[in-house]
Amino acid sequence: MKLSVVIPCYNEAPNLPALVAGYAVVAARTDLELILVDNGSTDDTPAVLAALLKEPRYSFARSLRVERNVGYGHGIRAGLAECRGEASAFSHADMQCRPEDVLRGFELYGKSGPGTVLVKGRRTNREGLERFLSAGYSGLACAALGIPAADVNGQPKIFPRSLAALLAGGPDDFALDLYVLYRAARAGLRVVEFDVAFEPRLHGESKWAFNARAKLRGILRFFRQIVRIRLGGYG
């Protein structure tokens, strides 16, 4: 097994058929296992996953249920613990990140020195306030933590499986995206970014920025987490 891909899924039932079909195209081209983490979903995710994973063409995929939703980072860590590939990866479930980007990223990982790099997507098609906020956050976070990257929250992220052990005790929320880069840089891995598009969500609504207030709370939390990581609050 070369690559394990973890997808944390939180109430994404309508997106799962297209997601798994997308990864089937990737799995036909490289040796890959897909680990779908049902991250304490309260929608039809368990039934939809059970039906999909019965299909022989999807034998490269399996699922794992986290009973109680704790957060995005917690779900990703649960999935990473199950990985058997030489490299591990994670990305999103709502089809904003194209499955084929995992293949492009994995090819780049192979060329860049497997075992010595973390390869990640860098979103290029953001505009207006989104672009300003994400560039500001990434600039500040990376400067504060010594991370050579331009876009913290771009997916997918692909890295040696051994990095997962360094994430134990890390953030349970979206700050895991920052923490994995911090841990990679501290472990001496080179961070290599490649351009990706960030598509609109296929179905459903944002799981954290569902209104202006929630979005502001989420953004403030992102900034607080930079400080916590910097002060060694996660080790």
Strand partners, 36: 7, 63
Cβ closer to ligand GTP: 94 or 101? Answer: 94
Q: Can residue 222 be called a binding residue for ligand GTP (CB under 6 A)?
A: no
Helix axes 176-186, 128-145, angle to 10 degrees: 40
Question: What are the start-end ranges of the H helices in the chain?
Answer: 16-27, 45-53, 72-80, 99-112, 128-145, 176-186, 212-230
Show the binding pattern over residues 120-159: x = contacts ligand GTP (CB under 6 A), - = does not. ----------------------------------------
Residues paired with residue 90 on neighbouring β-strands, in sequence order: 6, 157
79 is a contact residue toward ligand GTP (CB under 6 A): no
- Are 90 and 164 spatial neighbours (Cβ–Cβ below 8 Å)? no
206 binds ligand GTP (CB under 6 A): yes
**Residues facing 64 on adjacent strands:** 37
Which of 38, 94, 177, 193 contacts ligand GTP by CB under 6 A? 94
**DSSP at 197:** -
Options 71, 105, 156, 160; binder of ligand GTP; rule CB under 6 A:
71
Interface residues toward Mg ion, by CB under 5 A? 94, 96
Chain contacts with ligand GTP (rule: CB under 6 A): 8-10, 12, 39, 69, 71-72, 75, 92-94, 96, 201, 206-209
